[in-house]
């Protein structure tokens, strides 16, 4: 199956689209090719700043990694002979601003490639395009000559990274930033606190790191380091500290801020929990003033995210809250939450930040400079825009839900629901943010949850709205996935490591055959099988298998539309059918493989049915009778059902074979 999948991908090289993701606003091939060899040199033209010099050094380093060629490390001073010239007209803000010009032109001739941009940000974007275009031909490494004019569709193209539920060390954050820059995302929304851990050092309130983090937090030096690392890559860093809900960890350190007296303990499970700050207490605002002051100095970005989502209101049923609400004329939980926000927003503003929050914070009376992040969807966002609030879309981009790339890809921040907006209102929809909530993500497997699907979402945010050819997207996403792995992301390399752990000394290929063809269950259904906690090992097949099985997708597609030749199809089905023979003894010997049993059995069953259908289609056996067809369909219906936390994905292809056998 592996080979087949890759062979289909192999055709990408012949497809019309350049192997770029996101696709640029315009790409015009001009014939010929710029050779990349060990004479490769980079020169800077126009405005200079250290960030550009670092970028040039990075181009050389990354090109050396991509090609495996040692390349001289120093900048060329000669823009006429350099292979790549990067030229900027003016500098950029020290603190990157929303909406700064990211456009660039990239002109590649047979003699030279030249990136020109108004702002260094455009150079950073164009340089990724250039690197992504480097490939091999019969003469060696090079880039096809072309003219590219490019600029982003949305100014806010973010990735929200939950480092609370599972802590992600600095190296994970950094390689995530590398990947984001590669696909031209420009905001890291750092979800730094939640019920399960508060991940930042605070000098004024040190119990935060002492009691609310299990020792797993970023020092302020590390945060500064990450911010500079991000800035070098043209990425803003927006911190989120979730209040008044999602604050169990904070209340573990400072129970006096809670609505109930506590004591509180860092939450180990997943879900929405009761602990909530107490909006009736003045000391809560004193604390927040001190905390936000320190964090506003640490995080230079203009935006400051205060969460605000999923307050379940349980703790607010208590007497002193109810009487406070009555005394202040606050009718319900919504109004009470609005009161809280109306107290928090001036604090945020006092430290020169614009407040951001999830849908729930939207309420009349808050100033128009706040920004809404929508987990509810385009309708909610359109509503906000109509009221004069800016917003970004996150609802359709939750990577932890394990949905296929196409689904994320086709969700547009400007859809039917936003159609009736005026142009001015529409401009308030600033873009979107993908999100990774880390209940089931560890430093080891998080990359495989983010990538390569995040690249497809990045294209949605960057490329023109009419770029929505799903097949082209999948072809380019596979190429991009491999390119991202050379950059240091681990979604491919750790797959192998995790498969090997599952296989132990046994034949890893047998485990891989199943792993390649299954997917973790979708949405919020994983809790149903096991009582997962923060300590649950994430070392099983469900943690290893990719969110979307590309081999299964390609199989279903090729069999469904009849483009897979029968010899190859038979070979594939035989290999699947017989895989259980190799796998079964391993499963019996290794506890860690126990959940693989029903999936492997279902694969054998489905492949056996597929082979019988193929025999019949080819005339090697008589046309199947109605009873066989009925039994086969029933078996396949079973085979595609959820098994534990996983689903076997190749059944639709087999079903179409049975249909064809029945019809012919």
Applying CB under 8 A, the residues found at the interface with a second copy are 2-3, 6-7, 9-10, 12-13, 19, 38, 66-70, 73, 135-141, 215, 442, 444, 478-479, 482, 485-486, 492-493, 496-498, 500-501, 504-510, 534-539, 543, 582, 586, 588-592
Query: d(Cα 25, Cα 152) in Å, to the nearest integer?
Result: 8
| Beta bridge pairs of residue 357 | 372
Query: d(Cα 110, Cα 34) in Å, to the nearest integer?
Result: 4
Out of 49, 310, 595, 638, the active site residue is 310
**Residue 310 known to be catalytic:** yes
Task: Report whether 521 contacts 576 (CB < 8 A).
Answer: no
Choose between 15 and 630: whose C-beta lies nearer to a second copy: 15
Task: Report whether 98 contacts 107 (CB < 8 A).
Answer: no
At closest approach, how far in Å is the CB of 590 from a second copy? 4
Q: Which residues contact 546 (CB under 8 A, 6 or more apart)?
A: 448, 491, 495, 519
Task: Report whether 657 contacts 559 (CB < 8 A).
Answer: yes
At closest approach, how far in Å is the CB of 14 from a second copy? 10
Residue 567: which H helix or E strand, with range? helix 566-589
Task: Report whether 88 contacts 119 (CB < 8 A).
Answer: yes
Q: Which residues contact 292 (CB under 8 A, 6 or more apart)?
A: 304, 347, 348, 351, 353
* DSSP class of 204: S
Q: How far is CA 481 from CA 85, 132, 183, 630, in A?
A: 27, 11, 11, 41
Choose between 95 and 497: whose C-beta lies nearer to a second copy: 497
**Torsional sign, CA 467, 473, 475, 479:** positive
Choose between 136 and 286: whose C-beta lies nearer to a second copy: 136
Task: Report whether 187 contacts 235 (CB < 8 A).
Answer: yes
Query: d(Cα 405, Cα 241) in Å, to the nearest integer?
Result: 29
At closest approach, how far in Å is the CB of 514 from a second copy? 14
Query: d(Cα 145, Cα 142) in Å, to the nearest integer?
Result: 9
Structure tokens at 122: 């455009």
At closest approach, how far in Å is the CB of 591 from a second copy? 4
At closest approach, how far in Å is the CB of 477 from a second copy? 12
CA 616 to chain centroid, in Å, comes to: 44
Q: For 336-389, where are the E strands, in sequence order?
A: 354-358, 371-374
At closest approach, how far in Å is the CB of 504 from a second copy? 5
Choose between 510 and 647: whose C-beta lies nearer to a second copy: 510
List the catalytic residues: 310
């Amino acid at each position: 199956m592996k080979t087949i999948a890759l062979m289909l991908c192999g055709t990408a090289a012949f497809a019309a689209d350049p192997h770029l993701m996101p696709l640029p606003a315009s790409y015009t091939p001009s014939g010929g090719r710029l050779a990349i060899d060990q004479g490769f040199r980079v020169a800077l033209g126009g405005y200079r700043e250290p960030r550009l010099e670092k970028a040039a050094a990075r181009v050389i380093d990354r090109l050396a990694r991509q090609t495996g060629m040692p390349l001289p490390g120093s900048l060329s001073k000669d823009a006429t002979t350099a292979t790549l010239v990067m030229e900027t007209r003016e500098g950029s803000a020290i603190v990157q601003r929303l909406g700064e010009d990211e456009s660039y032109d990239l002109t590649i001739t047979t003699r030279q490639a030249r990136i020109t941009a108004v702002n260094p940000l455009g150079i950073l974007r164009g340089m990724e395009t250039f690197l992504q275009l480097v490939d091999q031909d019969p003469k060696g490494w090079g880039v096809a000559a072309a003219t590219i004019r490019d600029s982003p569709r949305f100014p806010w193209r973010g990735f929200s990274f939950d480092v609370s539920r599972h802590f992600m060390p600095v190296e994970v954050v950094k390689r995530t930033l590398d990947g984001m820059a590669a696909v031209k995302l420009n905001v890291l929304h750092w979800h730094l606190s939640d019920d399960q851990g508060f991940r930042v050092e605070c000098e004024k309130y040190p119990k935060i790191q002492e009691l609310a983090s299990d020792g797993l937090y970023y020092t302020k030096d590390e945060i500064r380091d990450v911010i500079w690392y991000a800035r070098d890559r043209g990425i803003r860093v927006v911190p989120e500290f979730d209040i008044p809900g999602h604050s169990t960890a904070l209340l573990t350190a400072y129970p006096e801020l809670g609505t109930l007296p506590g004591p509180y303990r860092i939450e180990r499970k997943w879900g929405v929990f009761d602990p909530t700050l107490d909006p009736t207490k003045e000391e809560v605002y004193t604390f927040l003033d001190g905390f936000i002051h320190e964090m506003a100095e640490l995080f230079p970005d203009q935006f400051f995210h205060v969460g605000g989502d999923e307050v379940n209101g349980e703790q607010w049923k208590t007497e002193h809250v109810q009487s406070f609400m009555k005394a202040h004329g606050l009718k319900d939980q919504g109004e009470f939450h609005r009161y809280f926000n109306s107290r928090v927003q001036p604090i945020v503003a006092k430290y020169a930040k614009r407040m951001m929050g999830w849908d729930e914070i939207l309420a009349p009376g808050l100033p128009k400079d706040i920004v809404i992040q929508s987990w509810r969807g385009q309708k909610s966002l359109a509503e906000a825009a109509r009221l004069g609030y800016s917003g970004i879309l996150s609802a359709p981009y939750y990577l932890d839900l394990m949905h296929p790339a196409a689904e994320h890809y086709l969700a547009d921040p400007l859809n039917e629901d936003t159609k009736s907006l005026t142009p001015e209102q529409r401009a308030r929809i600033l873009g979107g943010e993908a999100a990774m909530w880390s209940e089931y993500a560890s430093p080891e497997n998080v990359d495989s949850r983010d990538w390569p699907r995040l690249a497809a979402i990045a294209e949605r945010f960057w490329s023109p709205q009419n770029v929505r050819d799903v097949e082209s997207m999948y072809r380019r996403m596979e190429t991009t996935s491999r390119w991202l792995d050379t950059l240091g992301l681990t979604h491919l390399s750790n797959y192998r490591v995790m498969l090997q752990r599952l296989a132990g000394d046994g034949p890893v290929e047998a485990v891989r055959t199943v792993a390649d063809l299954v997917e973790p269950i979708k949405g919020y259904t994983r809790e149903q099988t096991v009582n997962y906690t923060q300590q649950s090992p994430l070392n099983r097949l469900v943690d290893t298998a990719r969110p979307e099985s590309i081999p299964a997708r390609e199989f279903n597609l090729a069999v469904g539309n009849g483009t897979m030749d029968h010899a190859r199809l038979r070979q594939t089905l035989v290999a699947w059918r017989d895989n259980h023979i190799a796998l079964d003894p391993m499963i019996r010997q290794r506890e860690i493989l126990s959940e693989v049993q029903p999936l492997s059995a279902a694969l054998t069953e489905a492949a056996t049915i597929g082979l019988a259908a193929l025999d019949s289609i080819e005339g090697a056996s008589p046309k199947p009778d109605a009873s066989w067809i009925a039994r086969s369909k029933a078996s396949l219906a079973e085979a595609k059902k959820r098994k534990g936390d996983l689903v076997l994905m190749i059944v639709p292809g087999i079903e179409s074979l049975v249909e064809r056998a029945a019809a012919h």
